[in-house]
Structure 1
Amino acid sequence: MSNDADRNPYDIVHPHARTADEVLAALRSSAAGLSAEEAAARLAAVGPNRLPEPPRDGLLKRFFKHFNDILIYILIAAAAITAVLGHWIDTGVILGVVVINAIIGFIQEGKAEEALEGIRKMLSLHAHVRRGGEWSEVDADKLVPGDVVRLRSGDRVPADLRLIEATNLRIEESALTGESVPADKHCAAVAADAGVGDRFGMAYSGTMVAAGRGVGVVTATGAATEIGRINRMIAEVQTLQTPLTRQMAEFSKILSVVIVGLAVLMVVVGTLLHDFPLGEVFLAAIGFAVAAIPEGLPAILTITLALGVQRMAARNAITRKLTAVETLGSVTVICSDKTGTLTRNEMTARHVVTRGGEYEVTGTGYQPEGHITLLGERIVMHEHAHLQALIEVVAVANDTHVAHEDGQWKVTGEPTEGALRTLAGKAGFDAAAHERHAAIPFESANKFMATLNTAPGGTRRILLKGAPDRLLDRCAEELGEDGSAVPLDRAYWEEQIERLSSEGLRVLAAAARDVGDDKHELEIADLDQGMVFLGVIGIIDPPRPEAIEAIRSCHQAGIRVKMITGDHAGTARAIGIEMGLGSAESLKVISGHDIEAASDEELQAIAQDCDIFARTSPEHKLRLVKALQARGEVVAMTGDGVNDAPALKRADVGVAMGIKGTEATKEAAEIVLADDNFSSIERAVEEGRTIYDNLRKAILFILPTNGAQGLVMLAAVVFGLTLPLTPVQILWVNMVVAVTLALALAFEPAEPGVMQRPPRKPGTPILGRIFLWRVALVSVLIGGATIVMFEIELYLGMPLDVARSMAVNTLVVAQAFYLFNSRFLEASSLRAGLLFGNRAAWIAVGVLVLLQLAFIYLPVMNLWFGTAALELRHWLAPLLIGGGVFLAIEAEKAWLRRRR
């Protein structure tokens, strides 16, 4: 419990393990409830029944945190020095770049964390409470421990309750437990160490009453409730940096050290070796720092990710945080919830067993489309009296309705009964003509439902459906192969029930008997004689077919998929086998109890080796994600319930379901699936890998620009030469190349076989040794050519502004040629089909030409940047140099391919 809960004088340890009377006594309450005065006093002591507001960063803090980067600090320092030296145009341009970068980051930043607000939306607004012996409706936030609350079908549970009364009470707890069917509730105590899903005497805040009614005493409110505990877990979970941000931070540190070190070296060499004036040397050092810093990289990084977000949205994956797009591409493990993610969260009858044979049922969900087959052959219904008799029972003794609304088939009532209604629809059976005279509703104590009906032919019958063991106890006969009643073969039916249960199916049975027309009432005693057992039905929440294929693709891509569910081990194992997570012989299931007992070190080994975890709590899911991350895995976690939210927040990338997911889950996640489909995750991983490839291409393209410029400035100072470029000219080259040429690389399509290669190892640098060699090679080629071009022009008597304009053109044109080298990291670009495969590259070159013409020929640009108009012949040399760079890099790529 939190400190708030510890200060609560009405805190009860393990109320589920105590009897209702013991809990009432401990809370100093009674079945008549509290008095109004006592309730008011307790409200003052424990506070309102709502969750605390989360702290939020202010607007200015969120904006200025985008300046928190070591490379940005260097640029700000450079701007300050140019201001001291009186070079105000340089100062304005540098600061403009810094501010634009921060604005882009601020605009593109994902929404602020709102997971706690999402959970608050789950809480009930009103409650039926008994105070002073009288029932009344009050605001739910006025509830206090000791209040007696009434629950009815359709209510949202307003606080944590220990049940005092329960009549046919079933509560939908999937948001907390992950179970696909509502939990039966009763008033008996359970073991102290029972999980949330096994605490049958408790009703938890935020869950929904699916059927029946009940009365309970409030044991916890606000932050002390089970949902409040999960709320605290979300608030306390530390999110990790994404692989990309970690790599970029490391890259920035190394680059900043190199830049500052070389700038200092330039100052020392320029002043001591060449006796340059201090102001001139400082300007040269600033020019070098501006040249070496890839200030266009944050913008191109953001734009590339934003384009990826758009492409993912078209594939039903809505991204809330930009960096999550790339993180998906580096995922090594996907931990998935079962219900609603790998499965449809729609119960479906799959098998029917009678003495007439074992029938298979096709189709999934509540849509009444599918076939019933026997030995692979589609049946004709009137030829199968056994099946007809069984379907009559499950369809008529049924209070649930299935209807087509808003383009979807929806169930009103019990999901299991909805599956039986759908089965009847597939069989063409209409229950409307059966007149009901009496009924015994389902109760968790009995686990069956019975009705007295008259069929269209006038036959009056008792129809009984429910738990197989309860029905077998009440039947002495079964419907034999010839259609007559024969002695019950209990061993046979128990074998069938065990077989279906071992496959993860929920098994229901049906029985019936004829009665006279004078029978009008129905009592439990009427079910103890003459009932004839008809058969059993196996029901399951079926896997999504597309999810099975997606898991296969993930395995091919070297990504492991693990199922973490609150459902029972048998169900999880059966679904896991069907999903392709393992074979029946090899697949192991680890339970929440095993996770609880394991140390952190033991859990790391368990999490690595096992792929299915059942009966898990929110803490278990969170521990499993941490255990995998401790082993160096990059983890994606999917889910739809509040119980998934802490693990989603902790995972490297959290993926929530958009249709059936809770608001809390969506707000805790970085990515929301619009179609609740696991296959969309697989497609998003492919997109993430493509984005990472394109980022590498952009970085591999941008760095030689900065390397060449830095080399030009460094060489000029070391060898005592005139500076070929000014700081503002360097900034021009950096920005126009980044926003035109580098941007084109964001539009590159996926490389062939992107989902056939293993995920990159966590910690692998963005640029390996081979690519660092290429950066150095291109920097020397372009930088060296620029210096030579500048010195030749000066030697030929060209004015300084003309020579510098030629140097800028050489840099820009060579980069335009190098763009086509960078479109393929290793493959050759000397193929017409590939050379013209990205239209954006040619558009970018066209825009760059227009910008460069403005830079050279517009008088205002000449004034701002110190350039001069060039003659037509001055463009020839840069074009030749660019072509030479292109051919040299293609030769280097061919040499590397041969070495491999």
Structure 2
Amino acid sequence: MAVATQGLTTVQALARLQQYGKNCLPKPSRNSFLSLFLLQFRSAFIYVLLVAVIVCLLLGQLINAFFISAVLLINALIGTIQEYSAQQAADSLAHMVPQQSRVLRDAHPILIPSEDVVPGDWLILNSGDRIGADIALKQSTQFQVDESALTGESISVSNTKQAFAGTLVTHGRAEGEVIATGSKTQIGQIAKLVHQGEPTKPPLMQRIDQFTLRIAIAILIIIAFIFGLTLLRGAALSEVFLLGVALAVSAIPEGLPAAITVALAIGMKRMAKANVIVRKLVAVEALGSCTFIASDKTGTLTVNEMTIGQIWLANDQLYDVTGEGLSPTGQAYRHGHDSPVDLQHETALKQLVTVGVFANEAHLVFEEDKVHADGDGVDLAFLILGHKLKTLPDTRRKRLTLFPYESEKGFGASVDETEAGPEISVKGAVEKILPMCSMSKEMRQTILSQSHSMAKRGYRVLALAHGTGTPLDDHFNGLKFLGLVAMSDPLRPDAIDAVAACRQAKIKVAMITGDHPATALSLSQQLKIAGETDSAITGQQLEQARLEDINSFDRLVANHRVFARVKPKQKMEITESLIRQGEFVAMTGDGVNDAPALKHAHVGIAMGLRGTDVARESASLVLTDDKFSSIVKGIIEGRIVYNNIRKVIYLLISTGAAEILLFILSVLFALPIPLFPLQILWLNIVTNGVQDVALAFEPAEGRELSQAPRSPKEPIFDRLMLERVCSSALTMGLVAFALFASSLHMGVDEVEARNLTLMLMVLFENVHALNSRSEHRSLLRTPLFSNPILLIGILVAQGIHIGAMYTPGLSDALQLSPISLEQWLVLLATASVLFVVDEAHKKYWHTKHHPKSAVSIAEHPRE
């Protein structure tokens, strides 16, 4: 296939896409609907219920065995549907941050989804890119690739002939022609091997599994105790077994795993709407736990639209430049003058602008009302400056060598052939460029002073230099210093409010950047990340502290919030230091060198717009808009998810405990079984079967950012949960037992007593579902219709139970009979006692733990 350095046209690309198909690897195997259904039976809870089915069959309780089996099948079906939906949601979210490739289309470099790359495309590769197809390299500069996905070797290799799909560019630049896509690539041949292996469960789900296992063991112990007690009292063995089955059925929260899966899936969707894509399930709730956010500056806290505002030349002449962003409209003025300069009479200025244009990797073309812009914001700012001052690249000038900008080097350069011979153009950080230039100590001090002055005003400052000859490597010396360029990248309008929201949520924020310390400090003070008396710590200071001892390094990190001129490795070291000090760290990054820090942080957050593929793949979360405010939105959603999981657990555990208490009291007072296993199953299906999932849809309560981050080590079953479960379970269990016992005492037969007790429990659990909507806020101050799914579920549950009383066959199986409206109202009033108890506990908790805020919380519950 012929090489086309202008790339394919859009028409050609579409034709080849139809011919060769999408550039996609075989998708990893997913559990089928049937597989997910069978997996629902792998649970300690389910094993106990299966034993109950066997016991019922042995005792001839065919109806009980049938209904328990039916409940198992219904729960399995519900769980399967929920997990299948969550799996589909995860797949759809994965497509929201597709891998992208830079190709030449219609002679312009553009970013396209890698799946749209076709054979014959001209692919442009930069450091940090994951290569989207197999390509034949035609030109490369200091090009190195991590081919571990193919070879297993983690050491980067230099390759000037071919690069393969799935590998990572770790250094340099390259271009070439696509020769294979999709399953025809080298990695496509081994894709099946790549997707082998079982996924690891996230820590939250592991904790839930451990939690459910402990509950199952506790249930068996309680059953064994009551089993032995009733046998000692001389009860028939069949009656004892029936009691054991009833206890097992009452205590097991069968819907817990499925409800938690739904809560996490809903959290993923809500985060996606907040421009936060979840790559790892644990990050859904982990982000809500973070105590420290270490953020990049450019593009996250700022808009990433660099504009050159001032130029200072080595002859001490200062120029102001007008115009903003990617608009070519603007002029240069001598500082303090009103007339624009004529570049024909400004030789030194023209040379500086020329160097900035040539030491450049960006692409910028204006076509009528269109702008084709591609590349780093700094490089684009220099090309815009060239357009403003009519100093554009000389097409007759041939580039001999490009030394790409890499963050660890701090500069970029090019060597170009001119009529006078090879010329060197270099731009970069001031402290990197000065050692390359010949000058006096006085001049060096003047430059540093001017650079510091510009940086203090919030500018990002770069130095430019020029030389002749052909260097053997990227170690330049003897260059001529040309001047300084001051450019600004304005803060994002939402960043100040977002940082303020973090302070309110007791989350610390730090800025980590490769920029000048004065620039970083100035912007940090505007954001209120740093105070007026604070200082910025440089990478050099961090290095010196680390050489002393680890404690000195940790103290330096702990006492500062602005880190400038930081090397990529030091970003990871800062992360490790914060973790050692007990912080739960969320780290942002966009470059290939940020990957270690993203992996070491508790929550790695990659940029979706300007981030490299390797950064996105190392992160747990991806921001589709690169905004710091989106992190804050994600924190809110993460806290909502965790709160909703607690609500589900509270609902299921406390209702199960109440049912067990009802049985224990009946056994202790030698009363008949208060509810048969079938009635317990019906109770759990009619009430908890809908409400537990509905609670996962609870919206924000409004105070998520006013609470301090929870400790990641905090158990789900903490003091508050324990107190609430005990108070609710005792209330429901004691009142239900009182009703059952008093009914029998007044001569009501067992069937009717169970009928009334079951209706009371249905009402109790409906009221309890409403109480579960918030751990702290009064139900009276909770918007009634903010979760319509829960309200509908409660009404449907009550309607189904009343309907069952009038349904022949079903009413006989469940031993139900209609009750009067007067009886129903009395039972409803009795169930309302649970509301009073829960409200009293909430008030008690606030008075005890938040005495100063109890009144304000009651008056302003949504603040």
Q: How does 1:350-749 map to 2 (within 5 A)?
A: 351-353=310-312, 355=316, 357=318, 359=320, 363=324, 366=326, 382=340, 393=351, 398=357, 401-403=363-365, 411-412=373-374, 416-423=378-385, 428-431=388-391, 466-467=426-427, 492-493=446-447, 495-497=449-451, 505=460, 507-509=462-464, 535-539=483-487, 544=492, 546-547=494-495, 549-561=497-509, 577=524, 581-582=529-530, 585=535, 587=537, 589=539, 612=563, 614-617=566-569, 629=579, 632-645=582-595, 648=598, 651-749=601-699
Q: Secondary structure at 1:382's aligned position in 2? A: coil
Q: How does 1:61-140 map to 2 (within 5 A)?
A: 69-86=43-60, 87=62, 88-96=65-73, 99-100=76-77, 103=80, 104-105=82-83, 107-109=85-87
Cα-to-partner distance string for 1:556-587 (whole Å, 9 max, x where unaligned): 3222345667x588699669846665465253
Distance 1:369 1:736 in 2: 69
Counterpart residue identity of residue 48, structure 2:
I
Deviation at 1:339, TM superposition (A): 6.2
Q: Secondary structure at 1:845's aligned position in 2? A: helix
Q: Secondary structure at 1:78's aligned position in 2? A: helix
Identity of aligned residues (%): 27
Counterpart residue identity of residue 329, structure 1:
G
Counterpart residue identity of residue 496, structure 1:
Q
Q: Aligned in 2, Cα 1:212/1:823: closer, same or farther, shift over 3 Å?
A: closer
Counterpart residue identity of residue 78, structure 1:
A
Q: How does 1:727-806 map to 2 (within 5 A)?
A: 727-795=677-745, 798=748, 800-806=750-756
Distance 1:326 1:94 in 2: 31
Cα-to-partner distance string for 1:286-339 (whole Å, 9 max, x where unaligned): 211221222222233223333322222211112345443222212223344666
Q: Secondary structure at 2:311's aligned position in 1? A: strand
Q: Aligned in 2, Cα 1:473/1:245: closer, same or farther, shift over 3 Å?
A: closer
* Partners of 2:517 and 2:537 within 8 A in 1: no
Q: Secondary structure at 1:751's aligned position in 2? A: coil
Q: Name the structure, 1 or 2, with higher relative contact order (CA <8 Å, separation 6+).
A: 1
* Partners of 2:125 and 2:175 within 8 A in 1: no
Q: Aligned in 2, Cα 1:706/1:465: closer, same or farther, shift over 3 Å?
A: same
* Partners of 2:400 and 2:415 within 8 A in 1: yes
Distance 2:98 2:792 in 1: 48
Distance 1:687 1:408 in 2: 38
Q: Secondary structure at 2:819's aligned position in 1? A: coil
Residue 788 of structure 2 is aligned to residue 828 of structure 1: no
Q: How does 1:180-199 map to 2 (within 5 A)?
A: none
Q: Secondary structure at 2:537's aligned position in 1? A: coil
Distance 1:405 1:277 in 2: 92
Q: Aligned in 2, Cα 1:300/1:120: closer, same or farther, shift over 3 Å?
A: closer
Distance 1:849 1:94 in 2: 19
Distance 1:438 1:370 in 2: 26
Counterpart residue identity of residue 805, structure 2:
I
Residue 810 of structure 2 is aligned to residue 861 of structure 1: yes
Pick from 258, 275, 297 the counterpart of residue 218 of structure 2. 258
* Partners of 2:343 and 2:349 within 8 A in 1: no
Counterpart residue identity of residue 382, structure 2:
L
Q: Secondary structure at 2:462's aligned position in 1? A: strand
Pick from 222, 238, 260 the counterpart of residue 279 of structure 1. 238
Q: Aligned in 2, Cα 1:119/1:704: closer, same or farther, shift over 3 Å?
A: closer
Q: Secondary structure at 1:763's aligned position in 2? A: coil
Which has more radius of gyration? 1
Q: Secondary structure at 2:606's aligned position in 1? A: strand
* Partners of 1:625 and 1:650 within 8 A in 2: yes
Q: Secondary structure at 1:655's aligned position in 2? A: strand
* 2:205 corresponding residue in structure 1: 245
Deviation at 1:808, TM superposition (A): 1.6
Pick from 834, 838, 841 the counterpart of residue 885 of structure 1. 834
* Partners of 1:694 and 1:746 within 8 A in 2: yes
* TM superposition score normalised by structure 1: 0.66
Gap runs ≥5 in structure 2: 1-24, 104-121, 132-137, 148-154, 177-192, 405-411, 471-478, 852-863
* TM superposition score normalised by structure 2: 0.68
Distance 1:370 1:710 in 2: 79
Deviation at 1:510, TM superposition (A): 7.9
Residue 260 of structure 2 is aligned to residue 308 of structure 1: no
Q: Secondary structure at 1:276's aligned position in 2? A: coil
* Partners of 1:814 and 1:885 within 8 A in 2: yes
* Partners of 1:336 and 1:564 within 8 A in 2: yes
Counterpart residue identity of residue 888, structure 1:
V
Deviation at 1:419, TM superposition (A): 1.4
* 2:253 corresponding residue in structure 1: 294
Gap runs ≥5 in structure 1: 1-51, 125-151, 161-166, 177-194, 215-231, 454-461, 478-487, 513-521, 525-530
Counterpart residue identity of residue 312, structure 2:
V
Cα-to-partner distance string for 1:84-139 (whole Å, 9 max, x where unaligned): 44442144135325524652346525869x99xx9999999xxxxxxxxxxxxxxx
Q: Aligned in 2, Cα 1:685/1:66: closer, same or farther, shift over 3 Å?
A: farther
Distance 2:784 2:31 in 1: 48
Counterpart residue identity of residue 861, structure 1:
L
* Partners of 1:363 and 1:371 within 8 A in 2: no
* Partners of 1:442 and 1:449 within 8 A in 2: yes
